[in-house]
Amino acid sequence: MGCCDPKAPRVVRIKVGDGEVGLRGIDMIAKTVRGLNLEREEDIKQELLSRAKLFNYIPDPANEKYANALYQYYLTEKERV
């Protein structure tokens, strides 16, 4: 048996600002948010950020940078589907 739970959220590395961070669960989060059929970019960003904060520590001063990075990930993943 492996060391990790196969059902645990996967860590995905994304670019945030000038750096790169690993965030847990954003692949599942993007899929879930896509299913909400939100239309406004700001609504999508807010939903991605609030859900990402459930699995990851994101400091409040960095919310905008993370929201933008999560949105870019969301758009990239949306093209793959």
Spell out the domain ranges in the chain: 11-80
Q: How far apart are CA 74 and CA 59, in angstroms?
A: 20
Single pTM value for the model: 0.87
Q: Which of 25, 18, 36, 26 is nearest to 74 (CA)?
A: 26
Q: Does residue 52 or residue 5 have the better pLDDT?
A: 52
**C-beta of residue 25 within 8 angstroms of C-beta of residue 8:** no
Residue 80, pLDDT above cutoff 70: no
Burial class (CB in 10 A: 0-12, 13-18, 19+), 57: exposed
pLDDT in tens, 20-62: 999 999 999 999 999 999 999 999 999 999 999 999 999 999 9
Q: How far apart are CA 26 and CA 50, in angstroms?
A: 11
